[in-house]
């Protein structure tokens, strides 16, 4: 009687080939990595804006080309001093527009004539970067600005001398995410485009290349 045989019978050796096949099938069924979404504006910057900037400003290195670093959206509501619900609704609308929860901004000092106390929430602000920044820029340029009445382009004089540009909107219902019937209070907003450009000329060429409709 061999060592593999016992009183209860012979022991069956595990089939190694079946285990190998199951292991191979398990490796094949491994989940695939999700494809990374690339914004149309980001693609346009790499394919069109960079070659144009390199040729116009004679950059020696591609890293010298200015780029859009971030977009800051800020709003302030004077009625927030008397009714907090208005500020909550404004923050909700701003979150719908930008796709990001805003930060409440507070008063830095007290002003008795305006019934304003230091530390009281009076507005909201959000900073967009990377994909959300490009998506917001795309909706602003192609959907919101064309809905402005008698729109002839944005101003050429709103640069700060350091390559940053600020745009003001008087109505937030220009964005398609806001339903006009549900709006209780109109609010304006300031939108600042922060770039890595050193001069206003470079920043203007960059923003115009991305699709910003400047006034001629």
pLDDT at residue 32, as a whole number? 54
pLDDT digits (tens, 9 = 90+) for 170-180: 877 778 787 77
Helices (H), the chain: 16-28, 40-44, 50-57, 84-98, 130-139, 200-210
pLDDT of residue 124: 85
Residue 24 is predicted with a pLDDT of 46
The domain ranges of the chain are 66-210
Tell how far CA 37 is from the center of its chain. Answer: 13
Dihedral of the alpha carbons of 64, 65, 66, 68, in degrees to the nearest 10:
-120
Per-residue pLDDT reduced to its tens digit, 63-99: 888 888 999 988 887 776 666 777 888 888 888 888 8
- CA-CA distances (angstroms) from residue 119 to 25, 79, 212? 62, 16, 36
| Cβ within 8 Å of residue 59, ≥6 positions away | 53, 65
What does the pLDDT read at residue 29? 55
Q: Give pLDDT, residue 13.
A: 54
Q: From 30, 34, 28, 116, select the one nearest 76 (Cα to Cα).
A: 116
| Whole-number pLDDT of residue 87 | 80
CATH 3.10.105.10 fits 66-210, yes or no: no
Average pLDDT over every residue of 201-207 = 88
Work out the mean pLDDT of the chain and round it to a whole number. 77
**Are 77 and 87 spatial neighbours (Cβ–Cβ below 8 Å)?**
yes
pLDDT surpassing 60 at residue 12 = no
What pLDDT, on the 0 to 100 scale, is given for residue 16? 52
Tell me the pLDDT tens digit for each residue of 22-45.
454 545 554 555 456 667 778 888
In Å, how far are 38, 79, 173, 209 from 179, measured between CA atoms? Answer: 28, 21, 7, 31
- Going by pLDDT thresholds of 50, 70 and 90, the confidence category of residue 17 is low
């Amino acid at each position: 009687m061999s060592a593999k045989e016992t009183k209860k019978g012979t022991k069956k050796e595990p089939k190694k080939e079946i285990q190998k096949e199951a292991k191979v099938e398990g490796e094949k069924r491994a989940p695939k990595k999700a494809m990374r979404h690339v914004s149309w504006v980001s693609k346009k910057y790499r394919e069109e804006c960079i070659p144009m900037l390199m040729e116009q400003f004679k950059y020696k290195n591609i890293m010298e080309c200015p780029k859009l670093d971030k977009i800051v959206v800020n709003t302030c509501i004077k009625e927030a001093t008397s009714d907090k619900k208005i500020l909550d609704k404004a923050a909700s609308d701003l979150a719908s527009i930008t796709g990001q929860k805003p930060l409440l901004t507070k008063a830095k000092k007290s002003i008795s004539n305006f019934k304003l106390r230091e530390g009281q929430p009076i507005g909201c602000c959000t900073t967009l970067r990377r994909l959300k920044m490009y998506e917001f820029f795309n909706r602003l340029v192609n959907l919101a600005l064309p809905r402005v009445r008698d729109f002839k382009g944005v101003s050429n004089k709103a640069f700060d001398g350091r390559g940053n540009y600020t745009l003001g909107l008087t109505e937030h219902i220009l964005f398609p995410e806001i339903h006009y019937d549900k709006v209780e209070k109109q609010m304006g907003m300031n939108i600042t485009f922060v770039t890595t450009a050193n001069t206003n000329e470079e920043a203007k060429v960059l923003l115009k290349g991305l699709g910003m409709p400047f006034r001629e």
